[in-house]
Each structure stands twice: as C-alpha cells, then as structure tokens.
C-alpha cells in the first residue's frame, strides 16, 4: 500500500468539529442509560463534604465521562480527553475535562469506592437480562476469584507496598497495589466482573475472600443463575472459611489446598491401579491396544479439612499427576511425578471435575483484558482515586461484554477487550444534521459493519 497524494508539512489540520473518532460510544452510553448505570451513579454515589467545593457536583456526568474514556482504552486521567475531541461534545452532553475529573477522583475514599461497587453489582443483573450474559435455564455458573499485583513506581502512591508476584514461574517481591476480583462465567458465556476491591500490595491474597464470595453468589442469583453455582480458586483461597461460606449459601466449591503432610499422606495412599490417564498435551493412543498414553493421570480420594474441629468438612480430593521432565541422559526407569490436587464437593465425575477446575484460568483472560486497557496504570497517587478507577474499570468491562453480546456475533462475543474497542468503539464517523436529523456517516466497507449495525439497531430500538 502506497500513499496516493503528495502532502506537505501543513496538510494535516485538526480543525473539524464534526469528525468523531469513537462513534461506538453512542451505543455504550445508551446501554449505560438503559441498564441503569447512569441512574445508579446519580442515586448511590455521594461524596458528601469535599475539599474542593465543586468536586462533588454533577458526579453522574463526571463518572460517565470516565466510563466512556475507559471504553475507548484510556489508561490514565489525561487520556480521558479523547472523549472531548472533534464531534464528541456535539454527540454527548456534559463531557468533562480530565483536570476536572482528576479533581473529583481524588476526593474518593475507599468507602466512596464501595458505593461504585454497589453500582457495579446492581447494574450487572440488568446487563445480563438485556444481553444474556449468563445462563438463566438452570445451567451451572462459575464464580472465580483471584488477585493480581499491579506494579507502581511513584513513592507517593498511597497504599503501595511490596507483595508477592509470580513472573515466568518465579516468585518475587514487587511494589504495587493488589486488586481482588471475582467473576461470573459459564461455558460459552465469557466472564463478567461481579466484584472488585483495591487493596495494599502487601495484603494477603485471601484477605476478605469469604465476604467477596458471599456477595458474588448473591449477585449471581440476582443475575438469574437458578442452577448450581461453583466457586473456583487457587490455594490462597482454599480455607475452611471460604468452604463454609459456600456451603451456607448453597454453592459448591473447587479449591486448591496448600500442600501439607496430611494431603501428602492422602495422595500416597492412592493405589497405582486407581490412576486413570487423561487427555493432556502430548497424549497419544496406543495403535495396538487403543489405550491412552499420556504424561498425566488422575485419581481421587476422600479428605477431611479440620477433622478435629466442631465443623469438619469432608469432600473429594482429586489429584492430577504429571511426569516430571528429566534432563538428557537421565535414567527414567522409575518416573518421577508432580502432583496437583484440589478439593471439591461437586458431583461431577473425576475427569469432568478436573476439566472444570482447570477452567478457573478463564479469570486470567479478564486480568489480561484489564492490563491491556484501563489497568495498564493506576493513575493517581491517592488510594481512593485508584479504588474508584478500578470500580469504574469493572463497570466498563461489563458494558463492553454487553456490547459484544448484542452484536449477535459469536466471534465478537468471545473477543478480547482490545478487539471490541477496535471493531465496535473506535469507529470513525462524520456527524451531520440534515433537516435537523442527526446522522452519523460511517466508513464504507467497514469490515465489521454487520455487527455494528446489529448493535446499533438493538440499542436504539425502543
């Protein structure tokens, strides 16, 4: 592809007030209105007395401006200025400047950020009802909970401290802030965020997990999850408190337990004839016997957590073992195994339970989406502002998932956030008003025009 014109140094002018860089913000803001996000922001978020008198005024419009910027891919407060360029201020009313928004965000405290969490959890059922984000036919819904450490580098970041992070399989200490996030998902239903809290970097991964799980299960029920709810998590959340919370609320669990002598003893007691080969990368079928030859095998036994307490919890301990890799020229007559176990009270068969548990990794796709977008940075030095940024990021994530579902495109429904921003939000347009009727002229031959047209029709049809 070659440039077909001869341009000069003065050929590029930023002078058009009718050009819109992100026409997809129109359906985003319509969804925010129709699913109650705007009304909930106006009703539930109140900063009370503020250091700057005007900071608490018009909160709904200011926070909607942040959500619009996040849906465009903004990862800093200054980036929110993208929604004030060109024809955006003609498309939308009360679009605030980044400086004004930053002033407001710095007035937030962790308690005010919880008000935004309430907006998130109360708007999600409306999004699910509008776009079918979760099954309502009694199918199982999974709750996944995990934390991540977002590194920060400024020494004035409140709440920043050293916490454990794993990079390329290695544990190390990094200075940052630690969001705790819970998602809801089901097979063929991409995950949506049901809860998100910001914590200090040194916070234990499992701190507050039982409370968040209880709130998330309640949110799942409000979203129409009428069937079984299974909570999945790694070893940081495999506590008796989490298990008791799941049982009290009628949910099942699939949790990794920290390895100890009792678990090692239970695994050692499993007989060799109890291990079943499972399909694993590198598995092949024996051409003579038809048996599966795999480097992974699975078995189960019964295990009791806190057997001497007044409330012991007995369930299934499912163990997957994988052959350890050996250096070249090493005798492997007696293969060594690496064992991975999890504790569950589901009624699935052993192999299905293992497959469902490993699908907990779906929460990592949410983390990847957030890190590749609004959570690339935690933009403020004030902890409350960053907590508000996280909550608004979660709301924008759910709006984008609703946007994708309304396109009726299976590919876009499962697409990453960056793909949705590129195909559905960052659609250039020219605003015209023939006979005072607003018209957006979009690019001819836009590759995703069918999906965009379906979305546009869905959000603008009464």
Q: Of 345, 377, 397, which residue constitutes the final position of a domain?
A: 345
Give the domain range for residue 272.
Answer: 259-345
Window from 4-18, 54-68, 228-242, 282-296 with minimum mean pLDDT:
282-296
Under DSSP, is residue 452 helix (H, G, I), strand (E, B) or coil?
Answer: helix
pTM of the predicted model, to two decimals? 0.93
User: Is there a single domain that holds both residue 266 and residue 247?
Assistant: no
Q: Of 315, 345, 375, which residue constitutes the final position of a domain?
A: 345
Average pLDDT on 249-276 reads: 94
* Cα 144 from Cα 146, distance rounded (Å): 7
Residue 333 confidence (pLDDT)? 57
Residue 325 confidence (pLDDT)? 65
Q: Of 345, 378, 404, which residue constitutes the final position of a domain?
A: 345
**Contact call for residues 181 and 149 (beta carbons, < 8 A):** no
CB neighbour class for 139 (10 Å; exposed up to 12, middle 13-18, buried from 19) = middle
Residue 311 to residues 194, 243, 345, Cα–Cα distance (Å): 29, 11, 15
Does a structural domain hold residue 213? yes
pLDDT above 90: residue 154: no
pLDDT above 80: residue 462: no
Does a structural domain hold residue 97? yes
Residue 182 sits at φ, ψ, to 5 deg, of -120, 135
User: Is there a single domain that holds both residue 214 and residue 95?
Assistant: yes
Residue 358 confidence (pLDDT)? 92
User: Is there a single domain that holds both residue 427 and residue 448?
Assistant: yes
Average pLDDT on 263-286 reads: 84
**Contact call for residues 179 and 390 (beta carbons, < 8 A):** yes
User: Is there a single domain that holds both residue 339 and residue 242?
Assistant: no
User: Is there a single domain that holds both residue 152 and residue 225?
Assistant: yes
383-405 and 25-34 are packed helices; what angle lies between their axes, rounded to 10 degrees?
A: 100
Give the gyration radius of the chain's Cα atoms. 25
**Smallest Cα–Cα separation from 246: which of 224, 218, 222?**
218
Q: pLDDT tens digit string along 24-47? A: 999 999 999 999 999 999 999 999
Residue 324 confidence (pLDDT)? 72
Output the DSSP codes for 324-337.
PP--TT---SS--E
Does a structural domain hold residue 356? no
Does a structural domain hold residue 355? no
User: Is there a single domain that holds both residue 370 and residue 245?
Assistant: yes
How many residues comprise the chain? 462
Task: With residue 11 as reference, give the H or E element that holds it.
Answer: none
Average pLDDT on 118-135 reads: 96
Q: Strands 313-323 and 337-344, how do they pair?
A: antiparallel
**Smallest Cα–Cα separation from 247: which of 178, 327, 313?**
313
User: Is there a single domain that holds both residue 249 and residue 263?
Assistant: no
* Cα 244 from Cα 314, distance rounded (Å): 11
Q: pLDDT tens digit string along 161-200? A: 998 887 766 778 889 999 999 999 999 999 999 999 999 9
Contacts of 170 (CB under 8 A, 6+ apart): none
* Cα 345 from Cα 254, distance rounded (Å): 7
Confidence of residue 326 (pLDDT cuts 50, 70, 90): low
User: Is there a single domain that holds both residue 120 and residue 211?
Assistant: yes
Q: pLDDT tens digit string along 218-260? A: 999 999 999 999 999 999 999 999 999 999 999 999 999 999 9
Largest CA distance in the chain: 84
Does a structural domain hold residue 81? yes
**Domain total of the chain:** 2
pLDDT above 80: residue 294: no
**Contact call for residues 136 and 224 (beta carbons, < 8 A):** yes
User: Is there a single domain that holds both residue 264 and residue 372?
Assistant: no
CA torsion, ordered 374, 417, 201, 206, to nearest 10 deg: 140
**Contact call for residues 198 and 212 (beta carbons, < 8 A):** no
| CA atoms 325, 295, 347, 250: torsion sign | positive
**Contact call for residues 133 and 407 (beta carbons, < 8 A):** no
User: Is there a single domain that holds both residue 305 and residue 434?
Assistant: no
Q: pLDDT tens digit string along 329-381? A: 555 556 678 888 999 999 999 999 999 999 999 999 999 999 999 999 999 99
User: Is there a single domain that holds both residue 248 and residue 267?
Assistant: no
- For residues 339 and 281, which has the higher predicted lDDT (pLDDT)? 339
Neighbours of 216 (CB within 10 A): 25
**Smallest Cα–Cα separation from 374: which of 388, 361, 360, 364?**
388
Residue 258 sits at φ, ψ, to 5 deg, of -65, 135
Task: With residue 236 as reference, give the H or E element that holds it.
Answer: none
Does a structural domain hold residue 9? no
Give the single-character DSSP code of 396. H
User: Is there a single domain that holds both residue 23 and residue 109?
Assistant: yes
Does a structural domain hold residue 5? no
For the chain, what is the mean pLDDT?
Answer: 92
Does a structural domain hold residue 310? yes
Neighbours of 235 (CB within 10 A): 15
pLDDT above 70: residue 283: no
Under DSSP, is residue 1 helix (H, G, I), strand (E, B) or coil?
Answer: coil
């Amino acid at each position: 592809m070659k440039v077909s014109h001869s341009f000069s140094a003065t050929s590029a002018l930023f002078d058009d007030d009718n050009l819109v860089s992100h026409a997809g913000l129109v359906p985003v803001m319509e969804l925010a209105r129709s699913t109650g996000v705007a009304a909930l922001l106006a009703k539930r978020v109140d900063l009370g007395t503020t250091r700057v008198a005007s900071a608490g005024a018009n909160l709904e419009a200011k926070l909607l401006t942040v959500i619009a910027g996040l849906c465009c891919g903004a990862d800093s407060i200054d980036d929110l200025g993208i929604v004030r360029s060109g024809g955006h201020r003609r498309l939308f009313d009360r679009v605030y400047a980044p400086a004004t928004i930053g002033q407001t965000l710095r007035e937030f405290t962790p308690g005010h950020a919880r008000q935004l969490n309430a907006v998130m959890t109360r708007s999600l059922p409306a999004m699910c009802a509008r776009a079918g984000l979760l099954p309502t036919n009694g199918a199982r819904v999974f709750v996944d909970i995990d934390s991540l450490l977002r590194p920060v580098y400024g020494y004035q970041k409140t709440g920043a401290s050293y916490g454990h992070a794993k990079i390329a399989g290695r544990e190390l200490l990094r200075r940052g802030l630690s969001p705790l996030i819970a998602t809801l998902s089901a097979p063929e239903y991409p995950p949506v965020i049901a809860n998100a809290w910001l914590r200090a970097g040194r916070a234990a991964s499992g701190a507050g997990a039982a409370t968040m799980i209880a709130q998330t299960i309640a949110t799942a029920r409000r979203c129409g999850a009428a069937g079984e709810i299974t909570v999945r998590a790694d070893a940081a959340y495999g506590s008796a408190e989490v298990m008791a919370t799941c049982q009290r609320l009628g949910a099942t669990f699939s949790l990794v337990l920290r390895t100890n002598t009792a678990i090692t003893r239970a695994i050692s007691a499993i007989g060799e004839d109890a291990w079943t080969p499972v399909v694993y990368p590198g598995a092949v079928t024996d051409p003579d016997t038809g048996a599966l030859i795999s480097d992974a095998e699975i078995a189960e036994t019964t295990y009791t957590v806190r057997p001497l307490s007044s409330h012991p919890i007995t369930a299934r301990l499912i163990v997957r073992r994988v052959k350890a890799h050996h250096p070249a020229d090493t005798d492997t007559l007696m293969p060594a195994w690496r064992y991975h176990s999890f504790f569950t009270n589901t009624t699935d068969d052993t192999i299905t339970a293992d497959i469902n548990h490993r699908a907990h990794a779906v929460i990592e796709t949410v983390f990847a989406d957030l890190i590749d977008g609004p959570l690339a940075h935690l933009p403020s030095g004030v902890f409350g502002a960053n907590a508000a940024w996280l909550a608004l990021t979660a709301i924008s994530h759910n709006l984008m998932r609703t946007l994708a579902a309304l396109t009726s495109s299976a590919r876009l429904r499962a697409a990453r956030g960056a793909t949705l921003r590129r195909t559905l939000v960052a659609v250039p347009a020219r605003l015209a008003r023939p006979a005072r009727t607003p018209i957006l002229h979009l690019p001819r031959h836009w590759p995703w025009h069918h999906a965009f047209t379906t979305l546009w029709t869905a959000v603008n049809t009464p």
